[in-house]
Structure 1
Amino acid sequence: MTWPFENDTGAIVKKLAERSLAGEKRRDLMVVIAVALAAFLICFAAILSASVAQIRRDQVADTYEAVFTGVEASDVAALRDLPELARVGGYYLLGQERSERGYDASYVYCDSDMIHIARSQMELVKGGLPVQADEVAVSRSFLSAYGQGAEIGGTVRLDTESFHGGYTVTGILSNVGGQEGDTCAIAVSEAALTRWAGYDPAGYRAYVHFQNDGQLSQEAMTARCREIAAQYGFPHVGMNSRYFADRSRSMDFAAAGGVAAFALTGGYVVIQSIFRISVQDKIRSYGQLRTIGATPRQLRRIVKRESRLLGGIGISLGVLLGIAGGLLLFPKGFDGPSYGLAALLTALACRSMVAASVRGPVKIAAGISPLEAVRFSAGTGRIRGRRGRVRLTPLSMGLANFRRDRRKAAGIAASLSLGGILLLTVSSVALTRSPEQAARRSFPDGDYKIYLSSERPEEELMAAGGPLDDGLRREILSVDGVRDVLVTRRSLHARFGASASDLAGMCDMLTEADRPDVEAALVSGAMPEDAHSVLLAASYHKDGDGMDVGAVMGLSLGRETVTVTISGLFDPARMMNGHGALGMDSAALFAPEALFRELHPEIEDFGYSWSIVSDPKKAERVESGLQEILSGRSDLGLDTIGAHIEYEEMQSAVIFGGLRALSWLIFLFGVVDLIDTTLSNQMSREREDGILRCVGLTGKQLCRMNVCEGLCYTAFAALTALLVGLPIAVLVCREVSRRSFAGEIVPYRFPLLEMGAFFLVLFGLGALLSAWTAGRQAAKSPVEQLREAG
C-alpha cells in the first residue's frame, strides 16, 4: 500500500525483484522445487483422500439400505408395492457344494433388481440371468478353468451333489465376491431353485433401496424398516452399515493434515535456509541500494516479491502434479468440488509457508546499514577467544567452515533429519507389528482352525449332532503331523438389543478355560454372576443406545427371547477369536453356560470352533489333509494362519509402504537444501579458496577440506535423526505394541536395513556433492578464481 503523501516506487521494486530473479537462477530453481514438492505432497494427500471417499460413495449409490431375512417370494413381491421403496431385490443362497473336479460351487439365486443393487459384490458383466431350470450364469474364472472354452449360449457341465449334468450359460458374472480360492459363483434360475432338495420357501432375502434416500437419515430408514418387519412378520431386518458410512464419507482431513504438517515443516526449513543464504550473498548489493536512497520497507518488498513469484510458480506446479497423480491413480474418484477445495487449501497453506519462511531473511535484508553491508561477511559472528595455537589442516579447516554459520548447519540438519525421523518411526512400528505376530494373535494354539460355516443356523446343526463330532476328530487326528484338537469356542448366533433384533453377532459360552482371558479383557463392570448376566463387546456398546453396564436388553439365541443384564464390557481387540482375515464372527457377547442350556436343552455340544495343534515341519501335509477331510463337508470352514499373514502383509505394504515413501519425499527437502548450500559455498568462497590455493593449498587438500565440511553436515543430520527419532520411535512402538498385543510390550527392534539405506544415501550424497565442488574448483587456476570472485 502506498500512502497519498508517498512516491509510488512499485515499478522500481518490481524491476529490481525481476532482475534479482534473473540473476539467481540456481536459487530460483531450488525454491521452486522445494515449494512444488511441498504443494505436491499436500495436494496429493488431499486428492487421494477425496478420491477414495468419492469412489466409496459411488460404490454404495443406488445400492441397498436394508435386508430382510427369512422372507418368501410373495413377500418380495409385496415389498415392491410399497411406494417408499424404489427397488427390491430377491436373493437366495443355496450354499456350497464340492465338485468332483476339485472346486467349491457357491450356488445362488438372484433377480435383476438384486444384481443391480448388489453390484459391488456380484456384477453381471455380459448376457442375462437364467430363467429355465437348465440355465446358469457363471463367473469368468469358472469358464476359464472348468468351462472348456464355453461362452454365452454354450453348455457347461456341473458335477456337484444337487446340480449335475449339462447347463446352458446365459450370463457371465464378475469375480467381485465371486471367487475366493477355489470357490466359483454360479447363479441358478428360480425354476431350478424351487426344485432343489433343500429349498425352504421362507429362505429368501429381500434387499431394499429407498426412494429419495439422499433426503432420509439412517434413523428414519431404520425406524421404517422395523415397522415393515413388524407389519409383515419378518424375523429379522439388518441395516447396511457400509452404505451409511460410505454415503456420508468425506475427505479425511486428519490424514491429509498429518502429511501437510510434515511437508510444511520441511518446506519452511529449506526455503528459509535458501533465502537466508541468498540474502547474505547479496548484502553488499542491498547496502548499495540503501546508499542511493532505498528504504528498509522497499528492501522488504523486493525480497517478498521474489518469494511470492517463486512460490506462485512452485505452488502451481505442485498442485497440477498432485491433481494429475490423483487422476492417474484413481480416475473413477474425480470429484470437482473436493479437488477444487484441495487445490485451494494447498495454495493457502503453501503461500503461508513461503511467507513465514522469508520473514527472517527479510529482516536481515531490511536491517542492514550501508556501512555494515560493506563489512559484512556471510557466516561471521562473534569471535571467540582461543587458548593456544590451532594447527591448520584440511580437516580442521573443513570443521571450521562447518562451524562458522551455526544457524545454517542447524537448518540443514533439521531438513535432512525430518525424513529420517519419520522413516525410523515407521520402520520401527512395522517391525514391532510384524504380520506374523499380528496373525499369531488369532492362532495361539495352532496354525489351523475348523469352524461352523453354513447357511443353516448353528442351533439347528448342533441339535442334529453337529458336524464337529467324534468321527471328525478321529479323522483329523489321523492326519500325519496333527498332534491335538482343541475346542476353542462354544458359540451361537445371537440377536440382541432393545427389541432383540437391533444388533446381531456371535455369543460365546463363558467357560472355565477361557474365563481368565475374558476377565483380562474386561474394561468395565464385572464378570457375570448368574445365568441372565452377559458381557458385551465395547464396540457394540458404542453403537447401541443405552447399552451400558447395568442395562437390560433382550437376547435371542435363535429361538426364544429372554431378558438379560449387561454385567460388564470387554475389549474385543484382546480376544481376536474370529475366523477369516477380517474376523467377522468374533465374539460380540459372552454368556454363562447355564443360559445356553436353558435356551437349548436339546443341544449336548455347543462346539463352534476347533484349533488344530500340528507339527510346523509338516505344515503342507497337515493343510492338504485337512482340506481333503473338509471337501465333503459343506457346513465347515478351514481357517489358516497363512491366510492371516498374507492379509497382514498386504495391509502393512499399503500403510507402511506409503509412509516410507512419504519419508523419502520429505528427505528430498533436505537434499534440496544441501545442494543449495554446497553450491552457495562454492560461489561465496571463490575468493577465499583462491587465496588459500595461492599460499600453497593443493587441490587434494581442498577436496579433503570440502568433503570434511560436507560430511559434518550429514553426520550432524544423522545424529539429529537418531537422537530425536529414536525416543519417538520407542514410545510409538510401545503404544502400538500395547494396543496390538493386549497390553504386551514387544521388545524394540531397530530397523537396520531401512536406516542403513538412509545413512548410506545421506553420507554418499554429502561426499559426492563436496567432491564435485572441489573438482570444479581444482579445474580452475587460483588466478581465475580470484578474477571471477572479484
Structure 2
Amino acid sequence: MKRQKSMIRILTNRSFKANKTRNLVAIFAIVLTTVMFTSLFVLSQSMVENLRNMNFQQAGYNSHLSSGIMTDADVEKITTHEAVRDFGKSIVVGIAENKELTGRQVEIRYADENYARSSFSYPTEGTMPVQENEIALDTITLDKMGLPYELGQKITLQWRKDLNGEEITTSIFTLSGYWNGNSAAMASMAWVSEAFVQSQCAGIDQVEQLANGQVLGTVMLHIDLYSDSNLEGAAEQILADTGLSNVSLSPNAAYDSTMNQNINREVLPMAICMVLVFASGYLIIYNIFQISVASDIRFYGRLKTLGTTKRQLKKMIYGQANRLSLIGIPIGLVIGYLLGAVLVPVMITGTTGEAKTAVNPYIFIGSALFAYLTVLISCMKPAKIAGKVSPMEALRYTDTGTNSKRKTKKSTGGASIPKMALANLGRNKKRTITVICSLTLGLVLLSCVYAKNASFDIDKYMSQTVISDFEVEDSSISSTFGTYNPYGTTISPELVQNIEGLSGLEATGRLYSQVFTHKIGASALENIQTYYNADDRLTYIEATDAGLAEAYHDMIDSGECTSILYGIDGLILDTFAQDGRMLDGTFDKGKFLSGGYVVMEAATGAEDSGKETQPTYSVGDTVELNGQQYEVMAIVADIPTITEGVNSSTQDFLSFYLPADTFRAMYPDNTLRKLFFDVVEEYQPQAEEMLIQYQQDVDKSLNYTAKSTLIEHYQEQTRANTVMGFAISLIIAFVGILNFVNSMVTAIVSRQKEFAMIQSIGMTKRQLRRMLIDEGLYYAGSTLLAAYVLGTVAVAVGVRMMVAGDWTATFHFTLLPLGICTPILIAFAIVIPYICFKNLEKQSIVERLRATD
C-alpha cells in the first residue's frame, strides 16, 4: 500500500512538472480568485467595523447602557448588580457658556478612565486632569476657542453653578491633554479633575440638586453587561431589582437591531460579489482542469491499463490541484489584502473619521477556505472524467466532451468553412457553454453597474439639498440643546456687508423666523385631522413618538398650536416658483411681495406629496397673523435647506411664509436666521475664502455650506458605490476572455494532427485560418447575442427596480458598455485564432502527422 501511495505521488509530481504552461495559467487563476475573495473579505469586514464604530461615535459612547443623572447611593446599587460586568463614572459640573462655543455643547465633567474611554474622549496627547486646575479638551473645543493644540496653555471657561441663575462662574485651567474631537457626537467633553469637582461641590446635597432640576455634583454612568442582547429588558430588570424608579438607564442605540440590519444591508453587495467571484473562479479553474484532463486522457487510459484505480486517478488530479493551491492561495492572500487596504478609504466613505482597514485572522482563513473550496469544486468534474475513462475510450477520445453515439448529419449543400467551424464548437458543448457564460456574465454585470451609475442624478440631488451656491446660518440653529435664538449675532451686519461686496455676486436671499402660538382656523384643523388619520399616521406616531402624539392631541383639544413664521425674499422666492414646488395654488411673486398674501408649507416634500390633503390651511383661506389678515396664496412643498435646524422646544405644526419686509415690520428686533447667495462660478473660490477668513478671524461659531463641497461629497459617495461594481465586473469579464483564450489555444493545439490530416487532403492554409477565425467569431457572436438579450432584461427590469426607491436617481436605459465591448470582443475573436494559427504553421504537415501522444 505504501509503495502504491509512493508511486501515485511520483506520477503526480511528474505530471505536475510536465504541464508547466497549464500550471502557470492555473496558478494565475487561483491567485486571481483568491485576490478577489480576500479583497471582498477585507472590504466587508472593514465596512462592518467602520459602520459599527460610526454608530458608536454618533451615540457618543460604546458601552451597553448609559444613565441619567443620579446620586452616589444610586450608583452603588446599580454597579453592584449581578448583571453589571463593568462601568465608568462621571460627575457633572456644568455647561461651558463661552461665546466662542455657541453652537457646540461643551459639558464640564470629571470622568474616570473607563468613562472617558467609552466616550471616545480619552486624551491621545497628554493626560487626564489630576491637579485641581487641570483640564482636558477635544480639538473641536480648542478650534472653536481659536486655541492651538499645545499642552500647558491657559483655558478660561464660563459656566453656571445654578442653571436657572444669573451668576456666571469663570474658571481658569491648564490644558493637561487633548484628543481628536468627535463631530458626530451631540456634545464635547471638558474633563476636569476630581479635586476641582470636590472644591466646587462642597456642601451640595445630590438629592436636593435632582429635585431642583440642577446637575452640579450629580453622577452619570456608562455600563457594560455580560451580553448585548435585549438591553432594554436588562435595563428594566436592573431598575426593578434595585428599586430605582427615578433613575433612567438607556440602551445604546448602536446595538439596536435596526442598526445591525443597516450594516447587513451595506454588506449585502459584498456577499453578492462573493457569489459572482465564486462563479467566475469556478468557470476558469474548471475549464483549465477540464482541458488538462482532455489533453492527458490517453495518459490516464494507459494508467488504467496498468491497473491504476479510479480513486488513484482522482487523487492525482486533486494532488495537482492541492499543489497549485499551495502556491497560488498565499500569493493571492497577500495581494488581496494589500488591494483591500487600498480600496477601503475609497469604498467606505461617510463614516466618522478616517476609515480603518480591518486586521483579522478570519479574513485570511475565510478567503483561503473559499478559494480552496472553489478549486476543489472546479476539479470534481474533470477528476470524475479521468477516473471513469477506460483504456479503449481513451484511445478513441476526440475531445467531443461526450461518449454518446451521434447521428451522422447529411447535407445536400456540401461542406463549407462556416459550417465546419460551427460543428467544431458543438464537439465540446460544455466547454463552449462555459466560455460563453463566463464572457456573458462579465458583460451583463458591467452593463448593470454602468446603468446604475448613469442613474445617479446630481441635479436632482442638489435641487433637494441646496437652493444657492452658499448659505450661512446663525450658530444657534445647530445647537444640540436649547432653542434657536431669533436675536442671534452670527450673521452680523459686517458679514452681510462682506457678502454684498463680493465680486461676481448674482443674488441673495434672506430668511428670518419666529416661533409663536397660533389659534387654528376651522379649515386647517379639519385638514390636520384628515391628514393624520389617513394611512394610520396617527397610530404610527402614537407607537413611536410619545412627545409628538401628546402635542397633537393637545393641539386638537385646545385648537392652538406652536407655529413658525418665516420671512423670505430674493432667491428663496425664485425657488418657490420652480416646477413641482407648489403642491396647490399658484405662486405669483409680484402679488406675494405686495402684501396681503401668505404661503403655507406642506408636511412633505414634492416627491412624496401626491394629491393628498396637507395638514395646513387650504388655498383661499384667510389667516390672521399678528392682528393682520392674509389670504393663503399657495401651499409649497417642504424645502429642507430652508426649514432645517432647531426652532423651539415644542412641536411646531404650522409653518407660514411672508415677505421679509412684512416680517421685519412685525418683528423688527429679529436677526437673520440664514442668508443664501449665488456667486459667478469663477469667483466662488474667493467667496469661500472670505467665509473661511471671517470664521477664523471674527466668529468661529459661523456655520456655512458651499454647494461645491456638497457636489464633491455626492460624487465621493457615488464613486464608492461604483468602484467595486466596475472592478468585479471587469475582473469577471477578464476571466471570461482568459477562458476564451485558453479554450481556443487548447482546442487548436489538441487538434494539430486533425488539422494536418484535413490539410493533407486539400484544405488550404487560408481555409484553415478562416475556419479557426470563424470559430472565434461564433464564440463572440453567441456571447454578444446572450449579453444583449440578458443585458437588456437585467438593465430594463433589474436596474430600474434598484433605483426606483432612490430619490437621487433617475433611470436611464443604456447598453453603452456592450456597445464599447462589441468591437473589442470581435477583435479578440479574430486575433487570438490568427496568432494560434501562426504558431501552428511553424510545424510542417508531415511533422504534425508524425507527432505521437
Query: Which TM-score tier does this pair reach, normalised by the shorter chain?
Result: 0.5 to 0.7
Give 1:370 deviation, angstroms.
2.2
Report the TM-score when normalising by structure 2.
Answer: 0.63
User: Residue 636 and residue 230 in structure 1: after superposition, are their counterparts in 2 closer, same or farther (change >3 A)?
Assistant: farther
Q: % of aligned pairs identical?
A: 15
Task: Report the equivalent of 2:579.
Answer: none
Question: Does 1:223 pair with 2:203?
Answer: no
1:307/1:578 Cα in 2 relative to 1: closer, same or farther (>3 Å)? farther
Q: Do 1:274 and 1:676's aligned partners in 2 also have CA atoms closer than 8 Å?
A: yes
State whether residues 453 and 637 of structure 1, in contact with CA within 8 Å, keep that contact through their aligned partners in structure 2: yes
Shift of 1:177: 4.2
Instruction: For residue 555 of structure 1, report the CA deviation from its aligned partner.
Output: 1.4
Native 8 Å contact 1:134 1:167 kept in 2: yes
Opposite residue 384 of structure 1, the aligned amino acid is K
Give the counterpart of 1:593 among 654, 661, 671.
Answer: 654
Q: Which residue of 1 aligns with 2:529?
A: 529
In structure 2, C-alpha distance between the alignment counterparts of 1:448 and 1:777, rounded to whole Å: 68
Native 8 Å contact 2:104 2:188 kept in 1 = yes
- In structure 2, distance between residues paired with 1:54 and 1:762: 41
Alignment of 1:57-68 (within 5 A): 63-67=62-66
1:666 lines up with 2:744 in the alignment: no
* 2:836 corresponds to 1:773: yes
Cα separation, partners in 2 of 1:775 and 1:141, compared to 1, 3 Å: farther
The CA deviation string for residues 719-744 of structure 1, in whole angstroms up to 9 with x for no partner, is 433332232123233123321128x7
Structure 1 match to 2:252: 240
Q: Give the counterpart letter for 1:351 in structure 2.
A: L
Alignment pair present for 1:312 and 2:322? yes
TM-score in terms of structure 1 length = 0.67
- 1:337-396 residue CA offsets vs partner (Å, 9 max, x unmatched): 6765665566556534543x43xx83587366827843746489655333435565xx88
> CA separation in 1, counterparts of 2:231 and 2:237?
10
The equivalent residue for 1:433 is 456
1:657 shift after superposition: 1.0
Aligned residue number for residue 614 of structure 1 = 678
Q: Does 1:787 align with 2:844?
A: no
Aligned partner of 2:284 among 270, 294, 297: 270
Corresponding residue for 2:126?
A: 127
Question: Is residue 2:509 matched to residue 1:485?
Answer: yes
2:376 to 326, 348, 351: 351
| Alignment of structure 1 residues 18-167 onto 2, 5 Å | 20-42=15-37, 44-46=39-41, 48-50=43-45, 52-53=47-48, 63-67=62-66, 81=76, 83-84=78-79, 86-89=87-90, 94=96, 109=108, 111-113=110-112, 117=116, 121-129=120-128, 137=137, 139=139, 151-153=150-152
Q: Deviations over 1:192-248 (max 9, x none)?
A: 999xxxxx96499976321535367411354379889996968x8764312556998
Pair 1:374-2:396 in alignment: yes
Whichever residue aligns with residue 409 of structure 1, its letter is T
Count of residues in Structure 1 that have an aligned counterpart in Structure 2: 702
Letter in 1 for 2:678: S
2:756 corresponds to 1:731: no
Matches within 5 A, 1:299-698: 299=310, 301=311, 304-316=314-326, 320=330, 324=334, 333-336=358-361, 340=365, 343-344=368-369, 347-348=372-373, 351-355=376-380, 357-358=381-382, 362=384, 366=388, 370=392, 373-374=395-396, 376=398, 378=400, 382-389=407-414, 401-402=424-425, 405-434=428-457, 437-443=460-466, 445-450=467-472, 453-454=475-476, 460-462=483-485, 465=487, 478=500, 481=505, 483=507, 485=509, 528-529=528-529, 548=540, 554-555=546-547, 592-593=653-654, 612=676, 614=678, 617=681, 619-620=684-685, 637-691=703-757
**Secondary structure at the counterpart of residue 124 of structure 2:** strand
SS at match of 1:727: helix
CA distance in 1, matches of 2:429, 2:801: 36
Give the aligned partner of residue 499 of structure 1: none
Question: C-alpha offsets along residues 284-332 of structure 1, whole Å, 9 cap, x if unaligned?
Answer: 5556567x4869xx45x45533442244345555654565467655797
Q: 1:741 aligns to what SS in structure 2?
A: coil
Distance 2:755 2:400 in 1: 15
Letter of the 1:422 counterpart: L
| Whole-angstrom CA distance in 2 between matches of 1:78 and 1:721 | 72
Structure 1's 216 and 203: CA in aligned 2 closer, same or farther, altered over 3 A? farther
Whether contact under 8 Å (2:52, 2:254) holds in the other structure is: no
* Structure 1 residue 667: Cα displacement: 2.9
C-alpha distance in 2, partners of 1:399/1:668?
A: 24
Q: Which amino acid aligns with 1:87?
A: G
Change (3 A) 1:151 1:459: closer
Q: Which runs of 5+ in 1 are unaligned?
A: 3-7, 195-199, 493-508, 516-525, 542-546, 596-602
Farther-moved stretch of structure 1 (777-786 vs 628-637): 628-637
Q: CA, structure 1 residues 563+487, in 2 after alignment: closer, same or farther (shift >3 Å)?
A: same
**CA 1:57–1:733: 2 relative to 1, 3 Å:** closer
Given candidates 190, 203, 209, the residue that maps to 2:222 is 209
Give the 3 Å change call, closer, same or farther, for CA 50–409 of structure 1 in structure 2.
same
Given that residues 80 and 87 in structure 1 are in contact (C-alpha distance below 8 angstroms), is that contact kept between their aligned partners in structure 2?
Answer: no
TM-superposed CA distance for 1:432, in Å, is 0.9
Residues 410-435 of structure 1 show CA distances to partners (whole Å, capped at 9, x for unaligned) of 22121122222222211221121255
Q: Given that residues 515 and 647 in structure 2 are in contact (C-alpha distance below 8 angstroms), is that contact kept between their aligned partners in structure 1?
A: no
- Coordinate RMSD, CA, aligned: 6.2
Q: Secondary structure at the match of 1:747?
A: coil
Task: Find the residue that maps to 2:322 and give its secondary structure.
Answer: helix
Q: Select the residue among 253, 269, 272 that pairs with 1:258.
A: 272
Q: What secondary structure, in the 3-state scheme, does the structure 2 residue paired with 1:548 have? A: helix
SS in 1 for 2:465: coil
Q: Tell me which amino acid in the other structure corresponds to 1:529.
A: Q
Once the two structures are TM-superposed, the CA of residue 713 in structure 1 deviates from its matched residue by 2.9
> 1:475 and 1:165 mapped to 2: Cα distance?
36
Q: Is the 8 A contact 2:35 2:336 kept in 1?
A: no
* 1:167 CA drift (Å): 8.3
Contact 1:490–1:607 (Cα < 8 Å) also in 2: no
For residues 494-515 of structure 1, what are the alpha-carbon distances to aligned partners after superposition, in whole Å with 9 as ceiling and x for unaligned?
xxxxxxxxxxxxxxx9x99xx9
2:264 and 2:763 map into 1 onto residues whose CA distance is 60
Q: Does 1:746 find its partner at 2:811?
A: yes
SS in 1 for 2:546: strand
Matched-pair contact (CA < 8 Å) for 1:288–1:370: no
Is 2:313–2:386's contact at 8 Å kept on the other side of the alignment? no
CA distance in 2, matches of 1:248, 1:337: 20
Change in Cα spacing, 1:348 to 1:482, as seen in structure 2 (3 Å) is same
Q: Secondary structure at the match of 2:315?
A: helix
Q: Secondary structure at the match of 1:89?
A: strand
Cα distance between partner residues in 1 of 2:529 and 2:71: 44
State the distance in 1 between where 2:66 and 2:671 align: 29
Q: 1:429 is aligned with what amino acid? A: K
Equivalent residues in 2 for 1:178-193 (5 A)? Answer: none
| Partner-residue secondary structure (3-state), 1:214 | coil
CA contact (8 A) 1:555 1:564 kept: no
User: Aligned equivalents of 1:560 and 1:633: distance in 2?
Assistant: 39
Q: Judging changes above 3 Å, is the alpha-carbon distance between structure 1 residues 738 and 151 closer, same or farther for their aligned structure 2 residues?
A: same
Q: Return the alpha-carbon distance in structure 1 between the equivalents of residues 689 and 317 of structure 2.
A: 67
SS in 2 for 1:417: helix
Distance 1:647 1:586 in 2: 27
**Contact 1:283/1:376, CA 8 A, preserved across alignment:** no
Q: Equivalents in 2 of 1:459, 1:244: separation in Å?
A: 27
Q: Which amino acid aligns with 2:721?
A: I
For 1:287 and 1:55, the matched residues in 2 are separated by: 56
Amino acid at match of 1:685: R
1:154 & 1:64 partners in 2: Cα distance?
32
